[in-house]
Structure 1
Amino acid sequence: MLITDEQFTSCRQTVMDANPNMTPELAGRIVEEALKFVAACAYNPGAGLVPSRIVDEGWHALIVHTAMYADLCQRLGGSFVHHAPGYGPENYAPAILDRTREAIVALGWTVDTELWAAPNDESLVSVAAKCQHSDDSGPIVTIPKPKPKGVV
């Protein structure tokens, strides 16, 4: 396990707090996938990996546990996995999620494919996270890209 049971329980509760009526089982699955995602990013810097919108909800829960998250990144190789939020479902690129899932599998984990749905697929769950990330030069980029200062 990448984090302690107590830390996992706290992160799972954070997901549930942001998503009323979500079951502990589903929230736990989301946190598990977020942990796998962070590990894949840490072990594959610069690979342009991104989470699904559902998995991003779990990543948010990890990040707000700042000391735990910093320690996790340190133990996974020392490279802090940053998050720059962005939203734009039109930027959804299935091939990028495929690459991310392949990186997770390469680390020896199984992917919970139900949680890697397209951003507009709410058949399993609708989450509070309004992020949809797209590939660029790092694990996460801002979408839409901010305009340079002075450009309208």
Structure 2
Amino acid sequence: MTTTVAAGTRTGRSLVTDVEFDMLAAFCVDEYGLERCVADRVVDQALALVFVMGSTGGGDAMAPSQQVDPGWHALILHTNWYADWCEKNFGSFLHHQPNSKVRTHGLMASVVEKIRVAGFTVDDRLWGTAAQCNAPTCCGDGPCC
């Protein structure tokens, strides 16, 4: 699947200051061993996901991919910052309700579509939606997607 970026598309990174983004990406590097270029992509997608979840109230029907989840953890683990960010953007704290068993190719495609509809750039490689699923070797977070 090719990502089409419409004019005026925004990034998750645009939702925070450069200093905040650096804090979150550096945490992913230190805590999860990600290369900085990967950490930047992961945090960008996590910010877009959480923003869409919080601003649409659709969090119950959304979940991060396995690759994006460390980005959300980076947000959550900076608790004071995250609480303030949520209050500013949504008027309340957006809780993380882990449920990795729901990560299917269909759900990831649905989440990606919601993020795109909200005007964000999507990195399909981090969502398992970069290629068609070829069961049984590839579903959801599979390595070939």
Measure how far apart 1:60 and its partner are: 0.2
Q: Using structure 2 for the length normalisation, give the TM-score.
A: 0.74
Among 45, 48, 65, the alignment partner of 1:36 is 48
State the AA in 2 paired with 1:40: V
What CA distance in whole angstroms lies between the structure 2 residues aligned with 1:43 and 1:99? 17
Structure 1, unaligned runs of 5 or more: 125-152
Structure 2, unaligned runs of 5 or more: 1-13, 129-139
What CA distance in whole angstroms lies between the structure 2 residues aligned with 1:7 and 1:40? 19
1:67 matched residue in structure 2:
80
Measure how far apart 1:66 and its partner are: 1.0
1:6 matched residue in structure 2:
19
Preserved contact between residue 54 and residue 115 of structure 1 (Cα < 8 Å): yes
2:62 matched residue in structure 1:
49
- Number of residue pairs matched by the alignment: 120
Identity %: 35
Q: Using structure 1 for the length normalisation, give the TM-score.
A: 0.70
Measure how far apart 1:3 and its partner are: 1.4
1:100-119 deviation line (CA, Å, top 9, x unaligned)? 11111122111000010233
Measure how far apart 1:120 and its partner are: 4.0
Cα-Cα RMSD: 1.9
Preserved contact between residue 48 and residue 120 of structure 2 (Cα < 8 Å): yes
What CA distance in whole angstroms lies between the structure 2 residues aligned with 1:103 and 1:31? 18
2:141 matched residue in structure 1:
119
Map residues 15-34 of structure 1 onto 2, 5 A cutoff: 15-20=28-33, 22-34=34-46
| 1:105 matched to 2:116 | yes
* Higher normalized helix content (fraction of residues): 2
